[in-house]
Structure 1
């Protein structure tokens, strides 16, 4: 099944037209139709990852599911142990920027204070 076919199938199951999925994704209204297989592109055109992510978000599935890399619509997410992430050396990020060690220590102290208050 091609990318276009998967998007069309999921959209139909959710009661969306492809134009509506495009609009909700913030991409051109007919963009998804350009991903349909053709003589020039037998597998269809694969859009940029960020564009595909917007469509996946609207449809409530993962990009890997849309691309046919997995049959799992949404990956199961593992919980994050903030105590470990903020205590360990290494990178923690917020808003696309790495947190300094001072910020990590301050966040950890704040979380520990909140935990003691319960």
Structure 2
């Protein structure tokens, strides 16, 4: 999968178009489409990753055991499961409250 494909997939998971992502990242609205033909700069990758709430490594396809995937518990686009089953919304809210309390 190319960086363009990974970016497009991450945008779709968040219900965003590539033009929306580019705009929020401070890029030209069609600049991500250019990634089909040439690699973007690391600065552009970081800006897009921040908008999509993913790591630059994830967009680049770099897997690193020392760099765990960070998930924002407030991101409604993250599917949380336990033992392969979705967590009921009420239970998920309890888990979120417990995790928020652990941060303090």
Pick the TM interval, shorter chain.
Answer: 0.5 to 0.7
Greater RCO, CA 8 A, separation 6+: 2
Q: How many residues align?
A: 69
Q: Which residue of 2 aligns with 1:52?
A: 45
- Measured on the aligned residues, the alpha-carbon RMSD in Å equals 2.1
Unaligned runs of 5+ in 2: 71-104
User: Highest Rg: 1 or 2?
Assistant: 1
Unaligned runs of 5+ in 1: 37-43, 78-118
> TM-score with structure 2 length normalisation?
0.60
> TM-score with structure 1 length normalisation?
0.53
Deviation beyond 2 Å, 4+ runs, structure 1: 74-77
Q: CA deviation at 1:76?
A: 5.9
Structure-2 change in CA distance of 1:76 and 1:68 (3 Å): closer
Tell me, yes or no, if the aligned pair for 2:55 and 2:69 is still in contact at 8 Å: no
Q: Which residue of 2 aligns with 1:19?
A: 19
